[in-house]
Structure 1
């Protein structure tokens, strides 16, 4: 069975856990922290990066986008991505914005919470905050024009990832991007968090709940 390693307070781990469920792939979740379980984690992946996926052939994969590319191959023909060239191009555009929002949110969270106050560089933090707001503004505009729809209990990957990163930003950086400023993203988050795969992998909890 696939093994997913990492804590659900990481949006990349949560994105992967939700996607694996929506693709119908069973996996074991090992909720190891890159801080508290560093030595144990290093025995699985020497670079101690989340998420880490151990394949059934014991090949170690890291980086959520690469893991999900592999997962899509395993789940084929089931997919969370469109197949048409233009539709796929648009999906990748939205995913790029979502990943930018997520990457910058994590960077700002670390800057504000792990770096000593006397070493924080406010102009740099301000620039990151501006990038986060710009990414979410563009995403909100997209989802206002193209409201996401759940297909049964699944979402397309661009909407899924956007919802995970938006929820992380709201939890980790409260007040940075008020929900009232991005009503389409707030609605997407409400839709996503009600789905079984999201409920089974809630932000901040130790482990993915039992899969149906």
Structure 2
């Protein structure tokens, strides 16, 4: 009997959510275990010794990095269904945007922990990270305004997923930091993606 695919981690993580959306778009059934890296560390550690999520368990093998997980899913996807474009130019453009969007998410997570977990957060570090987030969002705004109908092709791909999940995390973790009015194309595009069934 084929073993079920298991996704470990909570959807408040943009990286866990990215994987969940990709699985859904690829039509792959999976079991979701919404374990917290803080409250459920003992459950996660056998799958991820660094206690990091997401973890995707495929055929009993735990993969514990979102980039590796998504690369595996694309390699295993039936012909024409991969979320990474086959065209070399579109693939390169996708990788650039995914790098920006996941960097945005990573920086936002770091800022969240800096503010929430430290008794005396560093004002210098906080302002640096806020500046990084604003600068990256400004670049993504330009790409969002120029692209049609999706960022790198005619259907939802990794760039769209990474951008929308990162933007949603920033909006929820740092309200007001990236006002939608300052980046209307990005806000509109993300809202349209969030309204789709897979999101």
Q: Same fold (TM over 0.5)?
A: yes
- d(CA) in 2 for partners of 1:88, 1:8: 26
- Cα deviations by residue, 1:101-149 (Å, 9 ceiling, x for unpaired): 1110111011111122x2x111111111111111110001011011344
- The structure whose RCO (Cα within 8 Å, separation 6+) is larger is 1
Equivalence for 1:192 = 193
SS in 1 for 2:118: coil
User: Within 5 A, what are the aligned runs for 1:81-96?
Assistant: 81-96=84-99
- Cα deviations by residue, 1:58-98 (Å, 9 ceiling, x for unpaired): 11111111100011112132111211111111111111110
**Of 61, 64, 83, which aligns to 1:62?**
64
Does residue 74 of the first structure (1) align with residue 76 of the second (2)? yes
Equivalence for 2:45 = 42
What residue ranges of structure 1 are gaps of 5+ in the alignment? 199-212
- d(CA) in 1 for partners of 2:45, 2:99: 29
Equivalence for 1:138 = 139
Equivalence for 1:209 = none
TM-score (norm 1): 0.87
SS in 1 for 2:45: helix
- How far off its partner does 1:44 sit? 2.7
- How far off its partner does 1:5 sit? 0.3
Aligned residues: 192
Deviating beyond 4 angstroms after TM superposition, the runs of 4 or more aligned structure 1 residues are none
Q: CA RMSD in A?
A: 1.3
**Of 5, 26, 31, which aligns to 1:28?**
31
Equivalence for 2:167 = 166
CA gap of 1:147–1:112, structure 2 versus 1, over 3 A, is farther
